[in-house]
Amino acid sequence: MPENSLAAFSAAIEAGHGIECDVQRARDGTPMVFHDWELDRLTDEEGPVAKRDARSLARIALKGGEQQRIPTLADLLELVAGRVPLLIEVKSRKDARVSAHCLAIRRALEGYRGAHGVMSFDPRVAHWFAAHSPTTLRGLVVSEQDDKALPGRIRRSLAIRHAQPDFLAWDVRDLPSRLAAAQRRKGRPVATWTVRTEDQRARAERYADAPIAEGHGFG
């Protein structure tokens, strides 16, 4: 089934699995459930997602069959309806209008009573939710890949300090990690992504509190 499709989410619900999804802004600000910045890999269309409005994006078919199209966050919330936990990764760039995107997501979540949280590589996202929606569970996504030297370690520590997240989502390829272990000792839960193999699943069980998994990463 296509990733980030309502068919895939329905299958997860039927299996009793929590859901992790990716959300970014359409041109009109609507939160859309889609991973890539560009349409090319996952659809037969081309160009940036951010250049299309929600109505245009909702008409685009996803590759992989099942006659699935790009859903809005509102579509996903209506489908899940609190039946399983939902973790929303907020896609962001350095030049992104973080406050506008976060506000649109918060508005979509108004009245939603199911277990949910937001997370992002961008520490500004967790910081925004801490200030403007403190009851929303918030996380910081972390990867040490290609940035393991001292400057990178300092940047990660500063990002955690700025974000003040409720939890961390750590790259499974970086586990075990001294910084992740230190955060767990402080009482901050660490999830790990993306767990795809039995070896990674064993690593997640040893060094993290929860896996974000796909394929053989499920136990």
Mean pLDDT of 185-214: 97
For the chain, what are the domain ranges?
1-120, 140-219
Q: What is the pLDDT of residue 33?
A: 98
Select the CATH number that applies to the domain covering 1-120 from these four: 3.90.120.10, 3.20.20.190, 3.40.50.1220, 1.20.1050.10: 3.20.20.190
The 3-class SS string of 115-148 reads CEEEEECCHHHHHHHHHHCCCCEEEEEECCCCCC
Q: What is the pTM of this model?
A: 0.95
What six digits make up the tokens of 127?
């910081």
Which residues are CB-contacts of 69 (< 8 A; sequence separation ≥ 6)? 58, 59, 60, 61, 62
Q: What does the pLDDT look like over 138-160, one tens digit per residue?
A: 999 999 998 999 999 999 999 99
Percent of the chain with pLDDT over 90: 93
Please state, rounded to an integer, the average pLDDT across all residues of the chain. Answer: 96
Res. 65: pLDDT tops 90: no
DSSP-derived secondary structure for 199-218: HHHHHHHHH-SEEEE-GGG-
